[in-house]
């Protein structure tokens, strides 16, 4: 019996390894390269903090705090990288630290370890990693608490954004701690509760997950039944994304509309030069928005500039198109340029 169980476990481990390799190939194929060389070449301006709590998810904490012109009680932006990324590669390509300098806010970059996930993905598909006060979501919350105390953060202005696996983890954070955040952006991410392991995650990414019993809002309502208010959620999706199919963005929209009791028919559709914007407001305030970006694959959209080649070499999952997600987030979150 013991020998049989051992063989069965070995088969499972081999299958999981194959799945991880398939995910890696799918992501790498989209842009044709990985970001390892970019990570090595990017000059790091992020500071690592070793001790910030019990850290049950075994993550790394990195941050950027402007040394000049920082308000007494600054805002905080939490950024979650995607698979095959590092905080350094994402920051170098998207320029969030430059925005933090210009606009006077603090950046927090949680980082995954290869010991936790061989592809550097946050484990959004593992229930133990995204359950309240457990695993990776607990580690990130501890980072937020640590940096809030150390830098006197304005707790009414804490925002979170994530790309791909980081986008799915951003959704998990809001699902668990809705009162912690004033706004969130899920970029090429997945609905909360759409997978329970690597195999179901791969299927959902490629084909879209079936709604759970009770609808997409139920997983969030079950984990935060006491929640009365939710931060504004923006969902970003490249229409040519072959890693996370666009149907998953629609599921994300359905999830956040359902949990807030908002009718899908109450939304507004606008055609834009860069694609399509659907938005849902309540009493004039934005609650949910879907940015469907034309001619874009799997990644974070940034505005095209002259130095397109340099931007692509910094991180292939930061994609120059006709709209900038970082700039739009700054606008929606009220993080205007710093005034003396």
User: Rounded to an integer, what distance in angstroms lies between the CA atom of residue 161 and that of residue 167?
Assistant: 7
Question: Where in the sequence numbering do the catalytic residues fall?
Answer: 164
Evaluate whether 182 touches 231 at the Cβ level (below 8 Å): yes
Residue 228, token pair as written in the block: 């009365």
Is the alpha carbon torsion for 237, 267, 211, 78 positive or negative? Answer: positive
Which residues, including other chains, have CB under 8 Å from residue 93's CB and lie 6 or more apart? Answer: 38, 302, 311, 314, 315, 318
Could you tell me where the beta strands, DSSP code E, fall in 239-317? 268-272, 275-282, 285-293, 300-303
**What are the φ and ψ backbone dihedral angles of 265, each rounded to 5 degrees?**
-70, -10
Evaluate whether 137 touches 192 at the Cβ level (below 8 Å): no
User: Rounded to an integer, what distance in angstroms lies between the CA atom of residue 106 and that of residue 317?
Assistant: 23
């Amino acid at each position: 019996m013991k020998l049989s169980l051992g063989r069965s476990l070995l088969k499972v481990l081999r299958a999981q390894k194959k799945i991880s390799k398939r995910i890696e190939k799918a992501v790498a194929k989209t842009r044709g390269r990985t970001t390892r060389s970019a990570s090595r070449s990017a000059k790091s301006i992020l500071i690592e903090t070793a001790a910030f709590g019990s850290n049950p998810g075994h993550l790394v904490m990195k941050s950027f705090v402007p040394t000049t012109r920082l308000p007494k009680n600054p805002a905080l932006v939490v950024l979650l990288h995607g698979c095959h990324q590092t905080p350094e590669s994402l920051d170098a390509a998207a320029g969030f630290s430059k925005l933090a300098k210009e606009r006077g806010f603090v950046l927090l970059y949680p980082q995954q370890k290869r010991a936790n996930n061989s592809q550097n993905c946050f484990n959004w598909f593992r229930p133990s990693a995204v359950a309240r006060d457990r695993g990776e979501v607990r580690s990130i919350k501890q980072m937020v608490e640590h940096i809030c105390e150390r830098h006197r953060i304005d707790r009414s202005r804490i925002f979170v954004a994530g790309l791909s696996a980081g986008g799915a983890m951003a959704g998990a954070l809001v699902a668990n701690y809705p009162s912690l955040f004033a706004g969130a952006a899920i970029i090429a991410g997945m609905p909360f509760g759409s997978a329970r392991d690597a195999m179901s995650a791969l299927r959902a990414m490629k084909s879209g997950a079936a709604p759970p019993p009770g609808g997409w809002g139920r997983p969030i309502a079950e984990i935060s039944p006491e929640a009365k208010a939710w931060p504004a959620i923006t969902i970003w999706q490249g229409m040519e994304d072959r890693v996370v199919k666009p149907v998953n963005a629609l599921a994300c929209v359905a999830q956040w509309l359902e949990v807030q009791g908002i009718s899908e028919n109450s939304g507004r559709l606008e055609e834009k030069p860069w694609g399509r914007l659907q938005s849902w407001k309540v009493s004039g305030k934005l609650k949910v928005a879907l940015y469907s970006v034309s001619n874009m694959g799997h990644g974070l959209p940034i505005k095209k500039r002259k130095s397109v080649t340099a931007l692509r070499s910094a991180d292939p999952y930061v994609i120059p198109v006709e709209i900038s997600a970082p700039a739009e987030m700054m606008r929606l979150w009220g993080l205007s340029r710093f005034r003396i």
